[in-house]
């Protein structure tokens, strides 16, 4: 069975600027897939090309086994919500769904009641869209995308602007929809929150794909970091500089250092610091997170001389 969405060697330029630079990834069916990166990294441009909404310069793009240019033939099998999703403020939630159904020509699929229930806004069915909170509007936009009964749901920055309660509620909605059999593609810069729901992810920056793997591979295949407090810090830094493959990534107050150990065993680093006359009061391996993996990738890009946004 073909992937829900496949992007191969995608290139998109705006004049002399390469907004997307040879990006390749596949969204497996049944996954919650994350397209992750900072604002301006090329996520929305990649999605727009992949969904046939924007012309691309080079690459092969498929949605549910069809070329992106023929996405209209999927007939409601793909639901899309961009951050600036359009709702009619003067219509109620239910009327917005009815309007979208007529506009998009959906026949059958999920009923309005089911879409409202799935997204948790049944009680708001009679409220005008213009009176909804940001989180409620986001849920209505998703309900709007669900009425065609899509197999693939694409959400661009779905957590943008939400408060803590709204984020938690939205993440639970993703889990519920995934449990209903949907494949979800979530574009986001909110790495800690995405880590709680994703099964696989692609990390991009400045239009380049930095890493693509399952969540387990990303978190357990990344380089371990060490937080070390050693005094005096200048002596500790000098000792680290003499260790092949060990890099001091960051220095904080109270003589705390963040180290990338490379292939050097943590015990050997500790022994070298003690031998250099340093008093080591803390030596803690960091648990890998999506954020720490991303930071390590940023460090690698800088070390390789690539331009990295501040």
161 pLDDT above the threshold of 90: no
85 pLDDT above the threshold of 70: no
Residue the block writes with tokens 């997204």: 119
Confidence category of residue 309, pLDDT binned at 50, 70, 90: low
**pLDDT of res. 248:** 87
Same domain, 40 and 162: yes
Report the distance separating Cα 171 and Cα 27, nearest Å. 19
Does 302 reside within a domain?
no
pTM of the model: 0.81
- Under DSSP, is residue 43 helix (H, G, I), strand (E, B) or coil? helix
Copy the structure tokens of residue 260. Answer: 């990338």
**pLDDT of res. 76:** 84
User: What domain range is 18 assigned to?
Assistant: 5-219
Same domain, 61 and 193: yes
Backbone φ and ψ for 40, nearest 5 degrees, come out as 85, 10
308 pLDDT above the threshold of 80: no
pLDDT tens by residue, 5-59: 999 999 999 999 999 999 999 999 999 999 999 999 999 999 999 999 999 999 9
Q: What is the DSSP letter of 147?
A: T
**pLDDT of res. 225:** 80
197 pLDDT above the threshold of 80: yes
Does 308 reside within a domain?
no
Same domain, 16 and 139: yes
77 pLDDT above the threshold of 80: yes
Same domain, 45 and 179: yes
Confidence category of residue 222, pLDDT binned at 50, 70, 90: low
Same domain, 29 and 165: yes
Q: What percentage of the chain reaches a pLDDT higher than 90? A: 70
302 pLDDT above the threshold of 90: no
Same domain, 243 and 149: no
Pairing type for strands 58-63 and 66-67 reads: antiparallel
- Under DSSP, is residue 93 helix (H, G, I), strand (E, B) or coil? helix
**pLDDT of res. 34:** 98
Does 205 reside within a domain?
yes
Does 270 reside within a domain?
yes
65 pLDDT above the threshold of 70: yes
Does 296 reside within a domain?
no
Copy the structure tokens of residue 249. Answer: 């990534």
**pLDDT of res. 37:** 94
298 pLDDT above the threshold of 90: no
CATH of the domain at 228: 3.30.70.100
How crowded is residue 67: how many other Cβ atoms within 10 Å of its Cβ?
A: 12
Torsion of CA 35, 39, 40, 44, to 10 degrees: 40
Report the distance separating Cα 248 and Cα 37, nearest Å. 24
Does 299 reside within a domain?
no
Contacts of 161 (CB under 8 A, 6+ apart): 134
115 pLDDT above the threshold of 80: yes
103 pLDDT above the threshold of 90: no
CA angle in degrees (0–180, nearest 5) for 93-97-99: 110
251 pLDDT above the threshold of 90: no
Mean of the per-residue pLDDT values of the chain: 91
Report the distance separating Cα 31 and Cα 186, nearest Å. 11
Using CA atoms, how far residue 35 sits from 103, 132, 186, in Å, is 29, 28, 6
Query: Could you give the number of structural domains in the chain?
Result: 2
Does 303 reside within a domain?
no
Same domain, 138 and 231: no
Confidence category of residue 223, pLDDT binned at 50, 70, 90: low
Residue the block writes with tokens 């919650």: 32
How crowded is residue 5: how many other Cβ atoms within 10 Å of its Cβ?
A: 26
Residue 144 CB-half CA count within 13 A: 26
Same domain, 210 and 227: no
Same domain, 148 and 187: yes
Least confident piece of the model among 23-37, 132-146, 207-221, 244-258: 244-258
Report the distance separating Cα 49 and Cα 156, nearest Å. 13
Contacts of 262 (CB under 8 A, 6+ apart): 223, 244, 245, 246, 247
Same domain, 98 and 233: no
Q: Which of 64, 50, 68 is nearest to 1 (CA)?
A: 64
Report the distance separating Cα 194 and Cα 188, nearest Å. 8
192 pLDDT above the threshold of 70: yes
Same domain, 207 and 271: no
Copy the structure tokens of residue 114. Answer: 């089911």
CATH of the domain at 70: 3.40.50.300
Same domain, 112 and 261: no
Last residue of a domain, one of 186, 219, 252: 219
Does 116 reside within a domain?
yes
253 pLDDT above the threshold of 80: no
């Amino acid at each position: 069975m073909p992937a829900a969405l496949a992007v191969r060697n995608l290139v998109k330029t705006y004049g002399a600027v390469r907004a997307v630079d040879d990006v390749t990834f596949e969204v497996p069916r049944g996954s919650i897939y994350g397209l992750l990166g900072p604002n301006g990294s090329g996520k929305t441009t990649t999605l727009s090309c992949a969904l046939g909404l924007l012309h691309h310069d080079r690459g092969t793009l498929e949605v549910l086994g069809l070329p992106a240019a023929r996405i209209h033939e999927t007939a409601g099998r793909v639901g899309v919500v961009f951050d600036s999703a359009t709702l009619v403020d003067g219509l109620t939630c239910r009327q917005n769904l009815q309007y979208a159904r007529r506009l998009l020509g959906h026949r059958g699929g999920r009923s309005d009641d089911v879409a409202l229930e799935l997204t948790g806004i049944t009680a708001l069915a009679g409220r005008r869209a213009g009176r909804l909170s940001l989180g409620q509007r986001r849920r209505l936009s998703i309900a709007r995308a669900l009425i065609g009964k899509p197999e693939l749901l694409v959400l661009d920055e779905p957590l943008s602007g939400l408060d803590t309660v709204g984020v938690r509620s939205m993440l639970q909605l993703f889990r519920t929809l995934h449990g209903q059999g949907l494949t979800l593609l979530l574009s986001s810069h909110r790495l800690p929150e995405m880590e709680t729901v994703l099964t696989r992810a692609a990390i991009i920056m400045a239009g380049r794909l930095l890493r693509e793997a399952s969540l387990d591979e990303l978190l357990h295949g990344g380089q371990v970091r060490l937080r070390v407090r050693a005094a005096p810090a200048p002596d500790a830094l000098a000792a680290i500089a003499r260790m092949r493959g060990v890099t001091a990534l960051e220095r904080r107050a109270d003589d705390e250092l963040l180290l990338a150990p490379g292939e050097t065993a943590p015990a050997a680093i500790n022994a070298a610091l003690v031998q250099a006359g340093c008093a080591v009061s803390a030596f803690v391996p960091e648990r890998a997170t999506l954020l720490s993996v991303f930071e390590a990738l940023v460090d690698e890009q800088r070390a390789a001389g690539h331009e990295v946004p501040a």
